[in-house]
Chain A
Amino acid sequence: MPGILVYSEKHQVVRELLGKARQVADEKGMAVAAVYLGESVPEDLADLGAWGADTVYTVASPLLVGLNPETYTDALAGVIAEVKPELVLVGATKPGLEISARTAARLGAGVASFCVDFDFSAEGVVTAQCMIYSGVGINTYQIKTQPALATVAPAVFEAVKRDGSAVVTALDVSIRQPAMTILEYKEKAAAGVRWEDAPVIVDVGMGMSDKSHLGLAEELASLFEGQVACSRPVSSERDWFPEWLGLSGKKIHADLCITLGISGSIQHVVGIRDSKTIVAINSDENAGIFSQADYGVIADLHEFVPILVAALKARSAKLAR
């Protein structure tokens, strides 16, 4: 019987969840399974064994399209009812946040939201550490229900490759016609490589006055094969990027994060604070970001960044290996 079941619609998040699940399951002598939901079943799912899964349960249905939360909930709740895991880990993406809560409501189960660590007590009760108050604190909870559910943001756990092949088992789960009709499905423009994997991030905030200056950030990032990312309003109000860093967005753990015109709300900082070194550039001496940075430069980013780029080039400074 699988102890831990993991689900995310994102392949990389499935691997991350499996990495942590495998580690805990090995300590406790439990099994680990992944769930795949979709219109059809890809052929390479057994490969998830190399990321920690003993079993992959699949549900295929023409109703599992467009991430319709109603049909995906039917499928996930059906798999859990059949497999009866102790703990279900779901990637805390927007679709994952919705279907995990719906599934839990149906099963009368608790969800530990934004879990960053978990374990089983000697009695087999799940304890989960979760971010609270926008990441200011961490609460430790015991989840009193079985199954226990937890949502985990992307890049919180590490994917760990090993030897192995998973057994793929198709389940026949009943899925109802949804009330929701998807009229149009528009993919957003891709943001390039995953910010979570970039060694250097140049993080642009509302202090950057105009999109034409984004080239400055790109040039700085390119010196380190880094990526340019942004805060929520730069994405949602200005639409310069399809996604953002922060509590409600992506979380990075870069070697170096250079913020340009970021004011430093806790909701944003929680997305970058796992970076090894943070450099903040902001003209506002009182910006909160300076208390969250290793080095704070009080200067107009538009003037300072070209000079910094020139200095880095002149001194052939590279990211340390």
Chain B
Amino acid sequence: MKIVACIKYSLDASEVKVDAASKELKMAGVPYKVGVIDKHVLEMAVSLQEAYGGTVHAITVGPVSAKESFREALAMGLEEVVLIENPLEGQVAPDVTAVVLAEAIQKLGDVDLVVCGEVSDDGFTYQVPPRLAEALNMPLISFARTAAIENGRLVADRDLEDSVQTVSVPLPALISVVEESNTPRRPTLLEAMKAKKKPVNIWNVETDLGLSAADLQQKAALEKVSAEGVVVHRKRQILKGDDLNALSNELVDLLLADHILEGGA
């Protein structure tokens, strides 16, 4: 079985801070890394490979400078990482990402299963897996907590808000996984050493995938007009001390003074 894991070199959104006065997003120095959800994607892909045989190839769209960031991913049990050089400036829109990934998956050829995360750590649009399913014309099991191959079909539990569904689709297929699907393995030192020999192959959208970067630029349906940080004004008053009775009365006094609570003496 040939399994493709779609992963992302993501911005660590928890490190983005806001300048309270100007509402400017402070992006300088915010680190990038293989995302949290992507570890779950890799774990799902590798454990399916272990159960049913085959190979796992990871693909990603990102800057060439990310090349050294995939060591741990490779050590989890991949054959290779295909790093598709970001054809555009900055963040790639989900509609463009889906087109590029679909082309790369077709180039890899004879893919049985594509594993994605439900949502990327930084973009947070939830759009890439469904758009990829449409582009590849393959069925998708989204929001999966489990996955198994039974009688040549992919069977999984989908976690929706109000229900859990057990569903099956014929292969080849896509699956998008939720954080709760598994606990990602930590590669051993030996696996990490071996991974140093595994390749990160860099593909170019034009020369390797036959796409036009100019067309892709045109394709992005959303044009950013402006960005600003969300500034929530909170009082941030800290109450501490050993006398919990005094603390609780102090808290009630404050809430009464703010007219959040009423009555009381």
Contacts and interface: CB of A to CB of B under 8 A. Distances in A.
Interface string B126-160: 11011101110001111100000000000100011
B139 A137 contact: no
A278 B222 CA distance: 35
Interface string A245-264: 00110000001100000000
Contact of A265 (B14, B98, B169, B258): B14
Nearest to B127: A101
Interface stretch (B43-51, B65-73, B117-125): B117-125
Interface string B14-55: 101110000001000000000000000000000000000000
Contacts of B131: 101-102, 104-105
A209 B95 CA distance: 43
A279 B251 contact: yes
Interface stretch (A22-30, A55-63, A300-308): A300-308
Contact of B167 (A111, A180, A276): A180
A279 B223 CA distance: 39
A112 B222 CA distance: 7
Contacts of A127: 225
Contacts of A187: 162-163
A102 B134 contact: yes
Contact of B260 (A109, A143, A277, A292): A277
B18 A137 contact: yes
Contacts, number: 259
Interface residues of A, number: 94
Contacts of B265: 315-316
B255 A317 contact: yes
Contacts of A293: 234-236
Interface string A94-117: 110111011011101111111000
B193 interface: no
A317 B13 contact: no
Contact of B133 (A102, A104, A148): A102
B252 A134 contact: no
B261 A318 contact: yes
Given A237-B180, A317-B264, 14 more contacts: A101-B126, A101-B127, A105-B130, A110-B221, A113-B127, A114-B124, A137-B229, A138-B229, A178-B139, A185-B163, A276-B260, A278-B234, A294-B235, A295-B235
Leading 3 A-B pairs by shortest Cβ distance: A110-B221, A105-B134, A101-B130
Interface of A: 66-67, 69-70, 92-95, 97-99, 101-102, 104-106, 108-114, 127, 131-145, 148, 151, 178-188, 232, 236-237, 242-243, 247-248, 255-256, 265-267, 273, 276-279, 285, 290-299, 303-304, 307-308, 310-312, 315-321
